[in-house]
Amino acid sequence: MIAFIADYEFSWGFQARIAGLSKTSPSFHYPPPTTFLGALAETVAKDLAIPESKGRNLMAKISDNLLAIGFRPLNCIPIKYSDINRILSIRISGEAGLCPNPQDLKKSFDSPARGKTILCSTDGEAPKIRWFLVFKDNSFDLDGKRVKIDESNFWKIHRVGSKESVVSAVNVEKLTVQQISGVVYTKYCYPIEGLKEIDRRGRWEFEVYINPYEPSLPDPLSNYFSGKKAIPFRIPLLKGLEPESKVELLDCVAYEANGEVVVGCRK
């Protein structure tokens, strides 16, 4: 097993919208675990010249190798909002006609409200979020190529979410990790399945994410809409006391490195 702890500064916040609600869908409180894995996969693909057509296969391999992933805010509070964006309107059927159409520009554009999340700093510094990931191994095979994940991949992550969601890595550590069970304390987000919550300090909320531990081939969106691979996560909000949760692990395990504990899965 190998663990990585990485801290990222956000320039303003991020855009990672909840799919399937409407064209004016809101944003998440924090980038979902699979969004961060996608950002990590992008750096791996660039290093090894893996084409975009193999992106889902790469994500599936990373998910299969993943034992734990969690995040926690270091100095920021998420604030969700929506703003108006001008977008191309695409219609492929209906009596109103097809669009976009250069002969009818009024029907070729739309301006829905799109959800975004601002990360407000609590100390005057750039807002930071810490991720804690644990892998079974730091390398695996993909279509005859040996793929290796190391610190350089985390340093190269430049966005988490849409292309406007710019981040900068400020600290990356590669650590040895040990598996623990029983009752643990964690400050990181965690899936609520397979454990019993005993006590919580600070403020925590729920968000539903795609299960980051199971490959979502061939269609991750269908899995989210149907709820087949969507699981609720308990997420920390840095309002007042620093969030910390005491949980009893039943059908899952936790991993500890440098005094940090993240709840993961058995594989």
What's the CA gap between 129 and 162, in Å, rounded?
17
Is the per-residue pLDDT at 90 higher than 90?
Answer: no
pLDDT-derived band of residue 53, with 50, 70 and 90 as boundaries? confident
Mean pLDDT of 252-261: 95
Q: Which band of pLDDT confidence, cut at 50, 70 and 90, is reported for residue 112?
A: confident
Q: Kindly tell me if the per-residue pLDDT of 96 is higher than 90.
A: no
Stretch 138-164: mean pLDDT, rounded? 91
**Average pLDDT of span 224-238:** 83
Could you please report the per-residue DSSP string of the chain?
-EEEEEEEEESSEE--BPTTS-TTPPBPSS--HHHHHHHHHHHHHHHHT--GGGHHHHHHHHHHHEEEEEEEESSEEEEEEEEE--EE--B-SSTT--BS-TT-GGGGEE--EEEEEEEEESSSSPPEEEEEEEES-SEEEETTEEEE--HHHHHT--BSSSTT-BEEEEEEEEE--EEE-SEEEE-S-EESTTEEEEEEESEEEEEEEE-TTS---S-HHHHHHHTSSEEEEEEEE-SSSPPEEEEEESS--EEEETTEEEEB---
pLDDT of amino acid 91: 65
Task: Round to whole Å and give the CA distance between 252 and 264.
Answer: 6
Task: Read off the pLDDT of each residue in 109-114 and give the average, rounded to a whole number.
Answer: 74
Q: Residue 174 belongs to what domain range?
A: 2-263
Least confident interval from 19-33, 99-113, 184-198, 216-230:
216-230
Q: Cβ distance 157 to 165 under 8 Å?
A: no
Q: What is the pLDDT of residues 119-150, one digit of tens each?
A: 999 999 999 999 999 999 988 988 888 999 99
Rounded (10°) CA dihedral 119, 123, 124, 125? -70
Domain count, the chain: 1
Q: What is the CATH number of the domain that holds 163?
A: 3.30.70.3120
d(CA 63, CA 58): 9
For the entire predicted model, the pTM comes to 0.87
Contact 252, 195 (CB under 8 A): yes
Question: Which pLDDT value is given to residue 94?
Answer: 57
Cis check: omega of the bond before 243, within 30 degrees of 0: no
